[in-house]
Amino acid sequence: MGANSKISWCNHTWNPWYGCPDDGQRSPACDNCYARAWAKRFNFCDFDREIKRASDKTFYAPLNRKIYKPGDKVFVCSLSDFFHSEMPQEFLEEAWHIIWSRTDLSWIFLTKRPQNITAMNWSPGENSRLGVTVENQIQANKRIPKLLEKSSWVHFVSIEPMLEGVNICKWLSDSSYKKPNIPAIINNENPRLDWVICGGESGPGARPINPDWLRKVRDDCQAAGVPFFFKQWGKKPGCLDAGRVLDGREWLEFPKT
């Protein structure tokens, strides 16, 4: 799908800065961090100690309307965390200016730090998709409720790398949720997840994913009417294929907005 991204659920990845110093919010998903490996390989920044601003060409790239076209999906900060507690305020102010200047793009924010969102001038519009990464039940229980406290046109969860079976049923549906195809921000009571992404871990030291973990989440999403996107197997026991076919088909569902 990507115009300048290898991530299958977006058109672009936009990295206005790089780096993710340890602020006490790391979890097992961080053990084989691809962004840290990238930074070390290319000696681009001291990933564990600094947040480094990108060049102006990269920082202001979304303002180029020939490349970033109306309706494109832009994943923000694949090589950092937009809501990192040590983010320099001047970086944020510049980035928000660009984001608010392109209301015709769909901005996708994925974080491990949902508790920091309100403090960072979060102002969602109809073009915002806000999600958290969870890799196990502990992080699901910790991060998803914090995510759903924040307003967003679309709330989503990325279970990648999926390191164990994760039960997210209670955040997919609610007996009082009466508008199953309308984003949770419209319904002020009992917001739910509007989209679920799953994927296995890839690269050196990748930990395997169990197909039954995926089936459970997929089946729960189908029962609740929530789009399910299976990104990749990564390391699959007994199989060298790192594709994304599950039970004879690809699951590449997106929220309707």
Is pLDDT above 80 for 32?
A: yes
Is pLDDT above 70 for 151?
A: yes
pLDDT tens digit string along 204-240? Answer: 889 999 999 999 999 999 999 999 999 999 875 555 4
Q: How many CA atoms lie within 13 A of 237 on its CB side?
A: 5
Write down the pLDDT at residue 3. 57
* Cβ-Cβ contacts under 8 Å for 121 (sequence gap 6 or more): 92, 96
> In the numeric block, which tokens belong to residue 26?
């790391």
Write down the pLDDT at residue 161. 96
Rg, Å, the chain Cα set: 18
Is pLDDT above 50 for 175?
A: no
CA 115 – CA 112 distance, rounded (Å): 9
| Bridge partners (DSSP) listed for residue 252 | 229
Write down the pLDDT at residue 25. 93
pLDDT tens digit string along 39-92? Answer: 989 988 999 999 999 999 999 999 999 999 999 999 999 999 999 999 999 999
Write down the pLDDT at residue 252. 96
pLDDT tens digit string along 92-104? Answer: 999 999 999 999 9
Say what percent of the chain tops pLDDT 70.
89
Say what percent of the chain tops pLDDT 90.
76
